[in-house]
Amino acid sequence: MTERVLLVGGGGREHAIADALASDCTLYACASNRNPGIDRLADDFRALDPTDTGAVVEYAENVGATLAVVGPEGPLAAGLVDELEKAGVYAFGPKQAEARIETDKTFQRTFMADHGIPGQADFETFANTDAAADYVESVDGDVAVKPAGLTGGKGVRVTGDQVTKLEAADYVRSAGHDEWVIEERLVGEEVTVQAFVANGDVRVTPAAHDHGRAFEGDEGPNTGGMGSYSVPDRTLPFMTDADYEACVETLEAIVDALPDYRGVLYGQFMLTADGPKVVEFNARFGDPEAMNTLPAMETPLLDVLVAARDGDPLPDLEFADVATVCKYAVPEGYPTDPEGGTRVRVDGDSVGDADLFYASVDARNDGLYTTTSRSFAVVGTGETLADAQTQAGAALDDVGEGLRVRHDVGTDALLQRRIEHVRSLRDE
């Protein structure tokens, strides 16, 4: 039987999911933006709000979906997986209750504490803005200040790094959120480890490294992610095998404590002097990290989804021995004052030798235009990180006016800095 798979979401991550699935199934897709890459790969594409669970369920029923896969967190938070299941469609993604591991940071840290999950950071939770702000002003040491709910990766402020404590307290008072989590500031280098999870099985994927800050040299505000890389090994050059194993243990401990969890479980970790500490969990693939993981995965993604649905053991995963470098082109001013509306020159499914994944672009009669979110990504692949970086870099050398790129993602200079940083922390 040919599976009829409904893909929910229209970003670069979902384009990579579509690319991994399209040749093995009949693909349907829905998202609020008509992603031209997904549109080309899918048999049908419906523009709708993916957090409107009723609209997605109706579309799934209309196309006779035998499976669904949910990319972004918004629909997970809205309970889309629960509603699809009630309509008889198995969706690969956590139900609303399990998705709280991402969607509610108060739950995330409290759950870790209640279940003794390794990699915990010191934290306090607040249901009141003034109490949270007063705490930030008076606490010893630097902290990370986080609204408890979803903020698209842009809600966190770290003292001693981006802001002073007074600025962080002012931010808490003025940001318009009631619930806050205030954590110790973790010092080190960040890594992502993602796993496919279903029926208690956990299948981990190679580590990737995202660049959350807007500007080169890790400066500027946090973004949804400017680019990421992976190497032909499950670790990264500044990550030991023991670090990787510790990250996997943390993900497995979460699944032991949340046995109904299904979908992708994403762990972001800080490699500190004392080993990996949890920065956050996501209930889905990372964006951009999905664009490192899926193109290198040799096991068909469809096999994982079908095994999850049918209650079979998840397949062991095979990955090509390649390095990947993903770089996003974003509108000028992103993320604080993005200026959309410029014409995008890329077309088709590659730029030079790099693969092209579309994110938020607006298709008009005369071509594609930027919106106020990330526009498109290129992924270079090679035997070494240098090869992959050269390929991705060349694709974006002349990205055009109105767009910005972090050219330093995947470069040797930045990598050496991270290696030195972790070494210096651990030699002390």
CA distance 271 to 422: 7
Return the closest-CA partner of residue 205 out of 246, 262, 266. Answer: 266
* Out of 39, 289, 355, 408, the residue judged to bind ligand GLY by CB under 6 A: 289
Nearer to ligand GLY, 147 or 153 (CB): 153
CA distance 55 to 50: 8
- Give the tokens for residue 217: 């040299």
CA distance 11 to 375: 9
Nearer to ligand GLY, 262 or 284 (CB): 284
CA distance 66 to 88: 9
Could you identify the residue written with the tokens 């399209």? Answer: 22
Binding to ligand AMP by residue 82, rule CB under 6 A?
no
* Out of 98, 183, 355, 408, the residue judged to bind ligand AMP by CB under 6 A: 183
Residues 71 and 8: beta-carbon distance below 8 Å? yes
Binding to ligand AMP by residue 214, rule CB under 6 A?
no
Least Å from the CB of residue 153 to ligand GLY: 5
CA distance 106 to 149: 8
Q: Tell me which of ligand GLY, ligand AMP, none is bound by residue 225, counting a contact when its beta carbon lies within the kind-specific cut-off of 5 to 8 angstroms.
A: ligand GLY
Binding to ligand AMP by residue 222, rule CB under 6 A?
yes
Least Å from the CB of residue 280 to ligand AMP: 4
Least Å from the CB of residue 225 to ligand GLY: 4
Binding to ligand GLY by residue 287, rule CB under 6 A?
yes
Strand (E) positions, 148-236? Answer: 157-158, 180-184, 189-198, 201-204, 209-210, 213-215, 219-222, 227-230
CA distance 366 to 372: 19
Least Å from the CB of residue 247 to ligand AMP: 15
Least Å from the CB of residue 365 to ligand GLY: 32
Least Å from the CB of residue 424 to ligand GLY: 26
Q: Tell me which of ligand AMP, ligand GLY, none is bound by residue 286, counting a contact when its beta carbon lies within the kind-specific cut-off of 5 to 8 angstroms.
A: ligand GLY
Q: Tell me which of ligand GLY, ligand AMP, none is bound by residue 144, counting a contact when its beta carbon lies within the kind-specific cut-off of 5 to 8 angstroms.
A: ligand AMP
The SS3 call for residue 92 is: strand
Stretch that binds ligand GLY, among 213-221, 235-243, 284-292, 322-330 (CB under 6 A): 284-292
Taking residue 263's Cβ as centre, other Cβ atoms within 10 Å add up to: 24
Binding to ligand GLY by residue 210, rule CB under 6 A?
yes
Binding to ligand AMP by residue 104, rule CB under 6 A?
no
Binding to ligand AMP by residue 144, rule CB under 6 A?
yes
* Out of 56, 279, 291, 399, the residue judged to bind ligand AMP by CB under 6 A: 279
CA distance 400 to 271: 36
Binding to ligand GLY by residue 72, rule CB under 6 A?
no
| Strand ordering across the sheet containing 263-272 | 201-204, 189-198, 263-272, 275-282
Nearer to ligand GLY, 57 or 283 (CB): 283
List all residues 6 or more positions away from 213 whose beta carbon is below 8 Å from its beta carbon: 219, 220, 221, 222, 223, 226
Binding interface with ligand AMP (CB under 6 A): 121, 144, 146, 153, 156, 158, 183, 185-186, 190, 212, 222, 268, 279-280
Binding interface with ligand GLY (CB under 6 A): 153, 210, 225, 282, 286-287, 289
